[in-house]
């Protein structure tokens, strides 16, 4: 056999193959790119969709879609466990935490906006919620910290894909008391505490080695000692004014039930808008 006999013809690679996604058990069309693809097949169990050719600069993703729930599983108003959206969130959140396919049910997208209207978004972890609001922690000197200082409003999005559910929350944001931040800070693993001191989040650094060196210095400095919480780190609380519960439908007639804190004097007609609990009103939105 010649050296070329064991090379799969390019034509074989050009034919899309049907594979089943290990996560969703759905069949997807994929295309491998010659030798590179063979290497990726060994290194990565989930090959890229469409093509792995690094020279490709655009892709048509119009055929990427999946089925959600059917109309028999529609999310109706009579299925709300409570007319208080915080309690409704608690029910969905508990289901998400019990779903084996969801690794971090408390992962959420936090969207902030600068004073001049430039948005930014990133994933953070929810660290607690109550009737007062939703709590998370970060570096106050980060981009999100700077944006929350100049424009103290934000939006959160939880997306639990295996359940075909999303919760969107909007509201003003405040820093929590320093004592509360310190209590949480000292409950974290010591390595995480040191990491928070090392990182001046979003600042430019020369290399990863720089972080390693700073981390090693602080590990030695605080060996056997408590790590003080830095002034530039702490918690926030988002106080919800809007909470939307979304559930996907295969025909794209998705379910959207939104709770709002009405302005004083707003009328509730009992047809399009309905009174909830705790001063909330709720209504259904077109998908």
Question: What percentage of the chain has pLDDT greater than the value 90?
Answer: 68
Closest CA to 190 of 154, 227, 162: 227
- The CB-side HSE value for 19 (13 A sphere, CA atoms) comes to 17
Three-state secondary structure call for residue 246: strand
Tell me, yes or no, whether 147 lies in a domain: yes
Residue range 244-272, pLDDT digits in tens: 999 999 889 899 999 999 988 788 888 89
Q: Are residues 249 and 142 in the same domain?
A: yes
Question: What percentage of the chain has pLDDT greater than the value 70?
Answer: 82
Q: Which of 39, 66, 93 represents a domain boundary (last residue)?
A: 66
- Compute the distance between CA of residue 212 and CA of residue 105 in angstroms, rounded to an integer: 30
Q: Which of 14, 41, 66 represents a domain boundary (last residue)?
A: 66
Least confident of 30-44, 99-113, 181-195: 30-44
Q: In this structure, what token pair is assigned to residue 70?
A: 């059917």
Q: Are residues 159 and 255 in the same domain?
A: yes
- The CB-side HSE value for 57 (13 A sphere, CA atoms) comes to 0
Domains in the chain, number: 2
Closest CA to 283 of 247, 244, 251: 244
For range 218-245, the mean pLDDT: 98
Q: Are residues 78 and 62 in the same domain?
A: no
For range 179-192, the mean pLDDT: 98
Q: Are residues 160 and 88 in the same domain?
A: yes
**Alpha carbon 102 to chain centroid, angstroms:** 12
Asked if pLDDT for residue 235 goes beyond 90, the answer is: yes
Q: Are residues 78 and 157 in the same domain?
A: yes
Q: Are residues 8 and 124 in the same domain?
A: no
Query: Which is more confident, 276 or 55?
Result: 276
Asked if pLDDT for residue 237 goes beyond 50, the answer is: yes
Q: Are residues 97 and 36 in the same domain?
A: no
- Compute the distance between CA of residue 163 and CA of residue 247 in angstroms, rounded to an integer: 8
Q: Are residues 30 and 119 in the same domain?
A: no
Residue range 83-116, pLDDT digits in tens: 999 999 999 999 999 999 999 999 999 999 999 9
Tell me, yes or no, whether 154 lies in a domain: yes
Q: Are residues 17 and 37 in the same domain?
A: yes
Q: Are residues 132 and 12 in the same domain?
A: no
Q: In this structure, what token pair is assigned to residue 133?
A: 């609001």
What's the domain range around 152? Answer: 73-174+237-284
Asked if pLDDT for residue 130 goes beyond 70, the answer is: yes
Tell me the CA distances in angstroms from 277 to 81, 89, 94, one per residue in order: 12, 14, 21
Residue among 41, 135, 252, 275 flagged as catalytic:
252
- Is 252 catalytic? The answer is yes
Q: DSSP for 65-101?
A: ----B-GGG---GGG-S-SSHHHHHHHHHHHHHT-TT
pLDDT at residue 19 in the model: 42
pTM: 0.79
pLDDT band of 52, cuts 50, 70, 90: low
All residues at 6 or more sequence positions from 22 whose CB lies less than 8 Å from its CB, including other chains: 45, 46
């Amino acid at each position: 056999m010649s050296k070329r006999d064991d090379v799969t013809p390019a034509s074989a690679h050009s034919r899309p193959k049907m594979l089943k996604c290990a996560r969703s058990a759905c069949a997807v069309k994929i295309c491998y790119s010659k030798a590179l693809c063979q290497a990726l097949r060994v290194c990565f169990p989930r090959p890229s969709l469409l093509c792995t050719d690094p020279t490709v600069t655009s892709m048509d993703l119009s055929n990427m879609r999946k089925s959600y729930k059917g109309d028999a599983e529609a999310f109706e108003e009579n299925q709300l466990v409570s007319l208080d959206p915080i309690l409704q969130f608690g029910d969905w959140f508990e289901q998400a935490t019990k779903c084996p396919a969801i690794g971090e049910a408390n992962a959420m997208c936090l969207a902030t906006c600068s004073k001049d209207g430039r948005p930014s978004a990133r994933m953070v972890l929810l660290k607690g919620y109550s009737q007062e609001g939703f709590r998370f922690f970060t570096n106050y000197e980060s981009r999100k910290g700077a944006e929350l200082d100049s424009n103290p409003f934000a939006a959160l999005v939880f997306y639990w894909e295996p359940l075909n559910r999303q919760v969107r929350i909007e509201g003003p944001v405040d820093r929590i008391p320093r004592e509360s931040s310190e209590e949480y800070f000292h409950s974290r693993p010591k390595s995480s505490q040191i990491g928070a001191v090392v990182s001046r989040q979003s600042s430019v650094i020369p290399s990863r080695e720089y972080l390693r060196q700073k981390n090693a210095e602080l590990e030695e400095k605080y060996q056997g000692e408590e790590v003080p919480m830095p002034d530039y780190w702490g918690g926030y609380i988002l106080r919800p004014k809007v909470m939307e519960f979304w559930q996907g439908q295969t025909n794209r007639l998705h379910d959207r039930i939104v709770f709002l804190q009405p302005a004083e004097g707003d009328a509730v007609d009992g047809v399009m808008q309905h009174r909830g609990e705790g001063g909330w009103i709720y209504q259904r939105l077109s998908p």
